[in-house]
């Protein structure tokens, strides 16, 4: 078993587990905190968008840093910075006399600013971690390693973290952020003990632009990976456009508490765990192309269920299927590009890939929040909350059709 025989991978796996437990707690705690400060859908979306905006603004230079600086050092210091910034969130909460009564718009924007800074550190840390994995795992073990890491991220980040956050919020609003800060500190220590092989940087250190240009040239020449990057951007824009509003939908339509919303998120996490464990086997049995298209077909189910029903059980089932599909999709596409991209360029090309793939998230989030705000007066609150899910289902169907017609993964890039 890979975890048993590879110490360095075991440490990286453990660090991912710990940090994603903290991420899972903050995934519920951040939007819940924002909903305590304001009921404005656009402001709540703005806090979420601020956390994703660095994927648009900071991803490219982060890739250059990942190829030119010790990836281990980047991961350690990113987690240390995230621990410190989470401490500032705690101080912000403590500065509000009565948080349940709401807060000023300035306080909401302060929370958004902290979310943006946390997002910058996350970009650097995640890009370094994904880029470092092929250096400590054999090529033939990449699907297994990616599947296990995606599984533990789902278990800790969505299965354990959100319900624990609900319990911690019930105790005191700052408690989930205290736990989050501690998790980042522990993850930094674990990564510090990994024995990475020595890397020799190919060529002389150039300017940031010249280094980045090399990555752009490689990506442009490999059309399949470029198509995957652009496709992921559109998928993420559509899905985050409705997923960010799920917190209000769960509160106002389903009538869920923080703990109940955490349980709902566990349904998605359970699907992610199954996808991470079964995904590598399914890819080996049916092939990358079949699973690439099959998972996209399953993406459509989740927004359709939310749009058409008010059943908590069906929404939970839709989230299970969607997360199973998302994790399996990532096992296919991440392993594909980790094999294809040379190590000397892996940080830069990965960052450009994520610039497309994750940089569209804040666009989708803000569009979803603005759509609900504009539609509320003519359509009513509940119909407006459902609207982004209807549009998301339509867009995901269009992306599936494009993929079936234009993208082939059978041949290694």
- pLDDT tens for each residue of the chain, 413 residues long: 788 888 999 999 999 899 888 877 887 788 788 888 877 778 888 887 888 888 788 888 888 888 888 888 999 999 999 999 999 999 988 887 766 545 677 888 888 999 999 989 988 888 888 788 888 888 888 888 888 887 787 778 767 777 788 788 878 888 989 999 999 999 999 999 998 887 655 554 556 677 788 888 999 999 999 999 999 999 999 998 998 889 889 989 999 887 788 788 778 878 888 888 888 889 889 999 999 999 999 999 999 999 999 999 999 999 999 989 998 998 899 889 888 888 778 888 888 888 888 788 888 988 998 999 999 999 999 999 999 999 999 999 999 999 999 999 864 44
Alpha carbons 313 and 73: distance in angstroms, whole number: 44
Angle, in degrees to the nearest 10, between helices 312-340 and 258-286: 40
Question: Which residues lie closer than 8 Å to 57 by C-beta, 6 or more apart?
Answer: 359
Other C-beta atoms lying within 10 Å of the C-beta of residue 111: 24
Alpha carbons 223 and 51: distance in angstroms, whole number: 30
Alpha carbons 40 and 184: distance in angstroms, whole number: 31
Cβ pair 136, 10 in contact under 8 A: no
Q: 2-192+207-406 falls under which CATH superfamily? A: MFS general substrate transporter like domains (1.20.1250.20)
The token pair at 251 is 């509160």
So where are the chain's domains?
2-192+207-406
Q: In Å, what is the CA distance from 267 to each residue of 27, 85, 169, 241, 317?
A: 15, 30, 20, 20, 7
Q: Model pTM?
A: 0.72
Please state the separation of Cα 40 from the chain's center in Å: 24
């Amino acid at each position: 078993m890979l975890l048993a025989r590879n110490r360095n991978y075991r440490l990286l796996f453990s660090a991912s587990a710990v940090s994603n437990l903290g991420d899972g707690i903050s995934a519920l705690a951040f939007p819940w905190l924002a909903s305590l400060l304001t009921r404005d859908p656009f402001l709540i979306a703005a806090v979420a968008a601020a956390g994703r905006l660095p994927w648009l603004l900071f991803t490219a230079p982060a890739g250059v840093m990942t190829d030119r600086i010790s990836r281990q050092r980047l991961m350690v210091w990113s987690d240390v910075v995230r621990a410190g910034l989470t401490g500032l969130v705690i101080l912000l909460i403590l500065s509000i006399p009565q948080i349940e009564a709401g807060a000023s718009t300035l306080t909401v924007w302060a929370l958004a600013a902290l979310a943006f800074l946390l997002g910058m550190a996350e970009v650097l840390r995640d890009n370094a971690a994904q880029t470092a994995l092929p250096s400590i795992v054999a090529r033939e073990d990449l699907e297994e390693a990616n599947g296990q890491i995606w599984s533990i991220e789902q278990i800790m980040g969505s299965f354990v973290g959100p319900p624990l956050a609900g319990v911690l919020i019930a105790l005191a609003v700052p408690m989930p952020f205290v736990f989050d800060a501690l998790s980042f500190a522990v993850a930094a220590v674990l990564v510090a003990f990994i024995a990475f092989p020595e890397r020799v940087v190919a060529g002389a250190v150039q300017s940031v632009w010249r280094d980045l240009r090399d990555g752009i040239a490689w990506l442009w020449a490999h059309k399949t990976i470029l198509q995957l990057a652009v496709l992921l951007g559109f998928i993420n824009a559509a899905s985050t456009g409705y997923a960010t509003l799920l917190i209000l939908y769960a509160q106002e339509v389903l009538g869920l508490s923080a703990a109940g919303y955490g349980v709902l998120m566990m349904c998605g996490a359970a699907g992610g765990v199954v996808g991470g464990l079964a995904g590598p086997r399914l890819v080996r049995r049916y092939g990358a192309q079949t699973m690439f298209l099959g998972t996209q077909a399953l993406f459509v189910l989740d927004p359709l269920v939310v749009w058409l029903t008010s059943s908590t059980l069906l929404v939970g089932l839709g989230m299970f299927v969607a997360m199973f599909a998302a994790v399996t999709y990532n096992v296919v596409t991440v392993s594909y590009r980790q094999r294809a991209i040379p190590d000397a360029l892996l940080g830069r090309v990965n960052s450009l890939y994520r610039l497309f793939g994750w940089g569209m998230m804040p666009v989708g989030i803000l569009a979803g929040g603005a759509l609900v705000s504009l539609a509320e007066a003519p359509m009513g609150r509940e119909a407006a909350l459902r609207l982004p899910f209807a549009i998301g289902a339509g867009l995901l169907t269009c992306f599936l059709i494009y993929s079936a017609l234009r993208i082939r993964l059978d041949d290694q890039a």
